[in-house]
Amino acid sequence: MKFSINRDLLLFHLNHVTKALSTKPQMPILTGIKLEVKKDSISLTASNSDITIQATIPQSDKLLIEEEGICVLPGKYLFEIIRKLDARDIDFVSFEENMVKILTDRSNFTLNVLDKEAFPLISFDDSPVHLALDVLNLKQIIKKTTFASSISESRMVLTGVAFSTNESKMEAIATDSFRLAKKYMIFDRQYPKISVVIPSKSLDELNKVIEEIDQLVQIHFFSTKVLFKYKNLLFQTRLIEGVFPNTSSLVPTEFMSSLRFGKQELLSAIERASLFTSSESTNIIKMTLTNEGNVEITSTSNEIGAVLEEITPLQCSKIIPFQIAFSSKFFMDALRAFDSAEVTIHFTGEIKPFIITGEYDVNHIQLILPVRVA
């Protein structure tokens, strides 16, 4: 194995691939990055128990391949070396069977290789069941859903985002059973029937490596995994087994009153109102619509004190005085998922789920379950 590569080019791809490195010491081979040097390209592959990422760099004036070969290098060290080198070009040469030299003018690294036979064989074949999404839409789906999935592993299926297609509609839903995030899109043609649950953590990692919003991502579906193809990058994740709860009847469609707010103003008021509700279990705030059509947001801590924030809705469909209590954290998470400058909260009752929508966030809703308070 022998090649010479531009340092910035290699670092760019390592930045992506290292996201799939395992940090668990149980399987040392998964802390490695596999380099496959072929006649006209090199590929870098890393894989942990959830995701596998492979980047392929074609030969160019920034990559000169002299000799083919395969090796697995310790991923963390490879990345740190390339990051710390300030040379323009870096040479890689295999050496004495079990070592690789990384060379620049004045630096000479010798890295012990890991056992390449132990590296898992991973197939990146296409699936007959596939569709294409542009990066912008895919990033939107991820941003608007993953945060609402469960972090508890007691119901594994809720730690993922459920993707399903129905004729020309594709829907993505996440819920931890206290809140729900939903984004769907309508295509201009029919797609094959798909129903999978993708781990939210995998989607968050995918979101970091897909960058150019005008590119297309090809998504290939299998029974236990899904493969995303983006430029020269292959990103594969396992699926979560199990049946995702049917949430279609949860989302209310008739409302008692709908209130429109400036998103940032509302978010700031909620942030202040929740200052005394630091712990997970007691982050409950109350929202009250007064007879005058004003909204008061309050919270109380016996120990510290009390907050009262006033905010006037931009619009209120119907002034019905009422009070509702909910998690300020869930509410702020939901608000931050909107791109619109104005959001509308649709209430159905004091102890019934409410939903949030945004003028420019089409086909997107956030739902929150209120809590009963004395």
Q: Which residues bind a second copy (CB under 8 A)?
A: 74, 77, 80-81, 84-86, 99, 106-112, 268-269, 271-272, 275-276, 303-311
Between 304 and 373, whose beta carbon lies closer to a second copy?
304
Shortest Cβ 258–a second copy spacing (Å): 22
Alpha-carbon distance 265 to 258, whole Å?
17
Residue that the structure tokens 């012990």 belong to: 112
Report, in angstroms and rounded to the nearest whole number, the Rg of the chain calculated over CA atoms: 25
Closer of 271 and 359 to a second copy (Cβ): 271
Question: Please, which residues have CB within 8 angstroms of residue 137's CB and are 6 or more apart in sequence?
Answer: 185
Contact 359, 317 (CB under 8 A): no
Provide the minimum distance between the beta carbon of 15 and a second copy in the complex, in angstroms, as a whole number.
17
CB of 32 to a second copy, least distance (A): 12
Tokens 């930045």 correspond to 15
Count other Cβ atoms within 10 Å, centred on residue 4: 15
Q: Which is nearer to a second copy, 195 or 312 (CB)?
A: 312
Closer residue to a second copy in complex, CB, 125/303: 303
Q: Measured from the CB of residue 238, what is the shortest distance to a second copy in angstroms?
A: 30
> Backbone phi, then psi, for 351, in 5-degree steps?
-125, 30
CA distance 265 to 297: 12
User: 89: closest CA among 106, 73, 77?
Assistant: 106
Q: How far is the CB of 114 from a second copy (least distance, A)?
A: 11
Using left for φ > 0, alpha for ψ between -120 and 50, and beta otherwise, residue 349 falls in left
Give strand ranges (E) for 139-280: 160-166, 169-175, 179-186, 195-199, 216-221, 225-230, 233-238, 257-262
Kindly tell me which of 152 and 264 has the beta carbon lying closer to a second copy: 264
* Angstrom distance (rounded) from CA 237 to CA 226: 6
| Residues 4 and 89: beta-carbon distance below 8 Å | yes
Beta carbon of residue 85, minimum distance to a second copy (angstroms, whole number): 7
Whichever of 80 and 350 has its CB closer to a second copy, that residue is: 80
Q: Which is nearer to a second copy, 132 or 306 (CB)?
A: 306
In terms of CB distance, is 202 or 274 closer to a second copy?
Answer: 274
Nearest to 202 by CA among 87, 63, 81, 48: 48
Smallest separation, CB 100 to a second copy (Å): 8
Nearest-approach distance from CB 130 to a second copy, in angstroms: 41
- CA 125 → CA 23, 109, 349, distances in Å? 27, 35, 50
Nearer to a second copy, 81 or 185 (CB): 81
Shortest CB 268 distance to a second copy, Å: 6
